[in-house]
A and B are shown apart, each in its own frame.
Chain A
Amino acid sequence: MKWLAVFLTLVGLGLALGWPQFSQLAADSWRRHGTPRLQQPEGWPRPVYDFSGNPLSRAGFELGRALFYEPKLSRDDSIACANCHQQFVAFANAGHRLSHGVNNALGTRNAPALFNLAWQPSFMWDGGVHPLEVQPLGPISNPVEMAETLAGVVRKLQDDPRYPPRFAAAFGSPRIDGQHVLLALTQFVGTLQSADSPYDRYLAGRVRFNAQEQRGLAVFRAQCVSCHREPLFSDYSFRNNGLDAEPRDPGRAHITERAEDRGLFRVPSLRNIAVSGPYMHDGRFETLDAVLAHYAEGIVSSATLDPALRQGLKLDAADRAALRAFLDTLTDERFLHDPRFADPGEDS
């Protein structure tokens, strides 16, 4: 009887609202309260990370979320992933060229924004890490970040009465191990999907661009898209974009040990770019205007400079203003404020 009542209510609601509104309402409600599922929007490639090996569950996702906001992941219990990856700036580190680790140690590279990671083939600015599951080992164990070991994290979580039951719910055993810590974190960071910016709505025909945005899109597609490939806004290659004649950070060459990879860094996505500065692998540019000025007139020549940038980009003042307007359309407000990704707080 109860189910019949629910069914009739739903049918009544559907009739009263009309199907499109009703389905939108149902979808929104699900989006707010449900466990995220990875969507493959129209025009997107298949994700690189395959969740079939790490089946998403509410318990697993919520555990990953709790761990992302858990300072016990650092040696002195002072710093969580979320300290340097803040949701309101697309999980970048607001206002920090470099981030502070335990004992106020300073890192050497800018904390990247986190979203659409399931589509990203390799991680870190030098691409040394893949697949996604093992990425958290880097920040957890880096002496200038969390300075902890995975074994230490496992020990602390095992001793915290809140965690064994949550691991049991997610993975079937209250005995915590490194694999389950990393799989849970992957369920959270791997479902941070940003695909609902004004640009996406424009592509779907749901909103229009004004003339400035329209022009910015044209400039973007003429000059930027070869590296910042749509719809993910990166081709995930490694390139030297002309920052230094003699790079201090070897970048990609740190992994490959090849001279031709010196000073090459991963091409970052431009989604949410307006909110996720400072920019570049070392956070040297505070503003997007500084970034565009660099591409227009600041390219420094070196042996490994990307061929596409030898002449710099042809961007006059009007082009840059239009590009700025277009880049603003890549900010996904819904993602920045999605309650499912927020700090679960003490009461979780």
Chain B
Amino acid sequence: MLDFLKPPIQTFQEFVVLSGRAVGNIVRRPHYSADVFHQMDVIGVGSLPICSMVGLFSGIVMALQMARALTTYGAESRVGEIVSITLVRELGPVLTAVLVAGRNASGMASELGSMKVTEQIDAMRALGTDPTQKLVTPRLIAAALMLPLLTIIADFIGMMGGYFIASTQLGITSSEYWTAAWQILEYNDLAQGLLKPLSFAVIIALVGCLYGMRTTGGTQGVGRATTDAVVWSSLWIFFVDALITQFFVNL
């Protein structure tokens, strides 16, 4: 009767097992540092242009939207505060994570999925390598290091975008904007602004790798794994975002 629950429970179980192994492997030898650097390049450097662009436009749009509302109350000088707080707390981490999920969780799932269906994962095990250690752990470490950095960069470029609108359309001075943007931020905001990307990075790497490693059914299976990886990592990002926000709101 409850058979329909079996697949999601099994997937979650596999996720927990993979997470445990991947995290445990961080302190276990051998360490594949070359793979970590390669993944940092793929995830970090590769995602930098798109994350910067999205950060920039988010800041611009936030400033444009808020400008109209704030002008009504004569409070347009506070645009820096709003842009800063929304980017650091929410938009920066979530938009960056969703972009990286679309770009890298899918990449991980398709790469590992192709390796699975062409028996490269089995070959790896047969030739003395733990695929989790060689493939999953480097991606996890690289994502966990890169996503917070990408988020910080996206936040900053977003604020620059906000400043561009504030200075050109609202006539706000540089010191007015940046003082407001800086002073409104509390440690609480910075903490959640960094905890979120770290958590999202874990989700992106592990969900991407999980769907890649459990791929079956040839090239069609690789396509399915890629789609599932993006859909589920995005969904988990929003779910965990809600949990973390709830936690910090109650602090």
Partners in one complex: no
Residues of A at the B interface (CB closer than 8 Å) are: none
